[in-house]
Structure 1
Amino acid sequence: MTLDEILNTADNRLTLIVGNGVNRYANAGNTNSWRDLLLDMARRHLPEHAHDFPTGISTTEFFDVLSLQAKSSNADSSLQKEFCKPIRGWLSFDHHRRIVDWARHNNSPILTTNFDTALSQACGAILQHVTTEGFTDFYPWSTYYGHGPLPRPSEGFGVWHMNGMAQYHRSVRLGLTHYMGSVQRVRDWMHRGGTSRLFSSERAIDTWRGRSTWLDAVFRNDLAIVGLALDEVEVFIRWLLIERARLYIKFPSLKRKAWYIDTNDHTATGKGIFLSGVGVTPIMESNYDGIYAASGWKV
């Protein structure tokens, strides 16, 4: 299949997972760079390593090192706030609007790993909540950008921020420690709590604690993943895909499809082994225009 075919034949149970690639395509790369933001922070806090990320350390670990060097009890929160401030100036471009227009037209949720509001700005979406019960600005997972109320995240358009949003700086997942916290939180919802846990029965997908969060759109819908490296540093999302596959093995009636769209052939790579192992089909486009300017986005 191609991305065009997926977009033209998918039912309204398709979730788009959009990574940082959308902010590196065309003119967006000149304004929307979270890597540059981290390097700018390094110039202030670790100037000896500010020229580029050194080999042997991931970007998430790099943030944890910055936090450790700050040597204060609220270092994480201060760095997160510092990181989010310039993000408010990031811009939307034509390809942001194409993706969002398709999702709105097809009533499909967008889950993004990005912290900025370029996607929601592209359609004038505003902050909404499925529920405010138990709300925390550390994990605002029932909060999205949209145009009205949603009965549940998997059943309508909204822009959801998987790794946190600049609106709530404490929610932004930048360090490995942050990722591990997210894993721990979701694992409890999946595997603890008797009949309220996701893995307790087929019917639990309609009642578990993650039902009102963006997690609902991961486990209940087909997935099309674009602009996401999905490499080893993406510990949280990779783990979610593993758990998704385990859920479908236990309850085959819940199974949904997934595609990973990229410009590289991952067939003989470790990433290819991972994708096939968790039930995600790789789709290779010849270039980035084939992803962000695909005719399938037209509505």
Structure 2
Amino acid sequence: MKNPTLLIGNDINNISKGQSWRDLLTDIVGFCLPDGCIQLDERKPFPLLYEEIFLTAIRRQHIREAELKAYIAEKTLKIEQNEIHAAIRELSPAHIMTTNYEFTLEGTLPSRNDSLVLERAFSIFRKYTIGNTHYWHVHGDCLNPLSINLGFEHYGGQLQQMRNYVVSGTTYTSRQAPKLSLVQRIQQHLSVNNDSWLDLFFTKDIHIFGLSLDFVETDLWWLLTYRARQKFQKNTIPVRNALYYYIPTEFVQGAKFKLEMLAANDVKVIDIAAPDKRTYYEEVLKQIRRL
């Protein structure tokens, strides 16, 4: 596929040496609560665990959330890029959406923000353009620490902004920002100019990989569900694009419950067998080139 559109998660960073996500969680707890009173437990959904850490810290240590997010931004900026990041750039994607906060996919710190609207907290328009590729940081970025989407409150606000943009219309003061919702613009045959990464979910074939799509990602699951409802239930706008989700074959059985839900939401699941993580991602990129 020439100039594909991609949605990429944090797992591609796990090939790089250095800090894991678990290490980062431990560091966050240590930064906020040096006495270690919070217990990390895999049964705690991360957005609520973040709220537990922050709310406990604000009561005991009087920490400000801006301090915490600045610390997280500093830590994640230290993640090093690897050969898979470079191989992704060699695909010459038209668009790369990512839930990652750092700029390993870009390969360099962007010199300017190319968003239609400069957002402080949420990420409907958050875009950096390098060469011919538009990079959309859908959960915030390290250059704007307050935009980093971690807690339940932030997820709720992000979802509210997403639904306004797609369904009911926006209230941005910027004259450039579309006031009509995405659905209204498509219904009225008005141009859809890729002002937001949300446009892509209704207009472009998207390849999703390196992203676990846990159910705590309520914003992304809402988007998948709304798109599927438009296609199969409401039929108010045409939905002709395809979504592909890549997963290692070894994880298919354990993720069967999630893959069934993806299939119900019109996402095509592609499993790839590979001996290690690096080879797996090389095979994913080969598959995308062939489509």
Q: 1:186 Cα shift?
A: 1.2
Say if 2:45 and 2:216, in contact at 8 Å, map to a contact too.
yes
Q: Which residue of 1 aligns with 2:125?
A: 142
Q: Which amino acid aligns with 1:142?
A: F
User: Runs of 5+ in structure 1 lacking a partner?
Assistant: 1-9, 149-155
Q: Which amino acid aligns with 2:107?
A: Q
* Residues 1:192 and 1:143: Cα distance change in structure 2 (over 3 Å): closer
Q: Which residue of 2 aligns with 1:94?
A: 83
Q: Quick one: distance in 2 between partners of 1:205 and 1:83?
A: 43
Return 69-78 or 220-229, whichever deviates more.
69-78
Return 193-202 or 81-90, whichever deviates more.
193-202
Q: Quick one: distance in 2 between partners of 1:193 and 1:158?
A: 24
Q: Does 1:227 align with 2:216?
A: no
For residues 98-155 of structure 1, the C-alpha deviation after alignment (integer angstroms, 9 at most, x for no partner) is 01221x2xx4211111101111126x75434142xx422212543323235xxxxxxx
Q: Quick one: distance in 2 between partners of 1:62 and 1:205?
A: 44
Q: Quick one: distance in 2 between partners of 1:217 and 1:244?
A: 11
Q: Which amino acid aligns with 1:109?
A: H
Within 5 Å, give how 1:141-290 maps onto structure 2. Answer: 141-147=124-130, 157-193=133-169, 196-200=180-184, 202-203=186-187, 206=190, 211-249=194-232, 250-251=235-236, 253-263=238-248, 264-265=251-252, 269-287=256-274, 288-290=277-279
RMSD in angstroms over aligned alpha carbons?
Answer: 2.9
Q: Which amino acid aligns with 2:266?
A: G
Q: 1:227 Cα shift?
A: 0.6
Q: Does 1:109 align with 2:95?
A: yes
Say if 2:139 and 2:148, in contact at 8 Å, map to a contact too.
yes
Q: Quick one: distance in 1 between partners of 2:269 and 2:189?
A: 26
Q: Which amino acid aligns with 2:84?
A: H
2:5 partner SS: strand
* Residues 1:74 and 1:213: Cα distance change in structure 2 (over 3 Å): farther
Return 37-46 or 210-219, whichever deviates more.
210-219
**Which structure is higher in helix share?**
1
Q: Quick one: distance in 2 between partners of 1:97 and 1:58?
A: 32
* Residues 1:147 and 1:281: Cα distance change in structure 2 (over 3 Å): same
Say if 1:225 and 1:261, in contact at 8 Å, map to a contact too.
yes
Q: Which residue of 2 aligns with 1:48?
A: 36
Q: Does 1:19 align with 2:2?
A: no
* Residues 1:180 and 1:24: Cα distance change in structure 2 (over 3 Å): same
Q: Quick one: distance in 2 between partners of 1:83 and 1:286?
A: 34
Q: Does 1:83 align with 2:69?
A: no
Q: Which residue of 2 aligns with 1:39?
A: 26
Q: Quick one: distance in 2 between partners of 1:130 and 1:204?
A: 25
Say if 2:85 and 2:105, in contact at 8 Å, map to a contact too.
yes
Q: Does 1:59 align with 2:43?
A: no
Q: 1:218 Cα shift?
A: 2.3
How many aligned residue pairs are there?
Answer: 271
Q: 1:32 Cα shift?
A: 4.6
Q: Does 1:118 align with 2:101?
A: no
For residues 40-94 of structure 1, the C-alpha deviation after alignment (integer angstroms, 9 at most, x for no partner) is 11123344356x6214311211111111112269733221111111222221111
* Residues 1:266 and 1:108: Cα distance change in structure 2 (over 3 Å): farther
For residues 158-186 of structure 1, the C-alpha deviation after alignment (integer angstroms, 9 at most, x for no partner) is 22111100010000001122111111111
Task: Output the TM-score relative to the length of structure 2.
Answer: 0.81
Q: Does 1:291 align with 2:280?
A: yes
Say if 1:127 and 1:143, in contact at 8 Å, map to a contact too.
no
Say if 1:111 and 1:159, in contact at 8 Å, map to a contact too.
yes
Q: Which amino acid aligns with 2:163?
A: R
Percentage of pairs with the same residue: 24
Q: Quick one: distance in 1 between partners of 2:156 and 2:85?
A: 30
* Residues 1:291 and 1:273: Cα distance change in structure 2 (over 3 Å): same
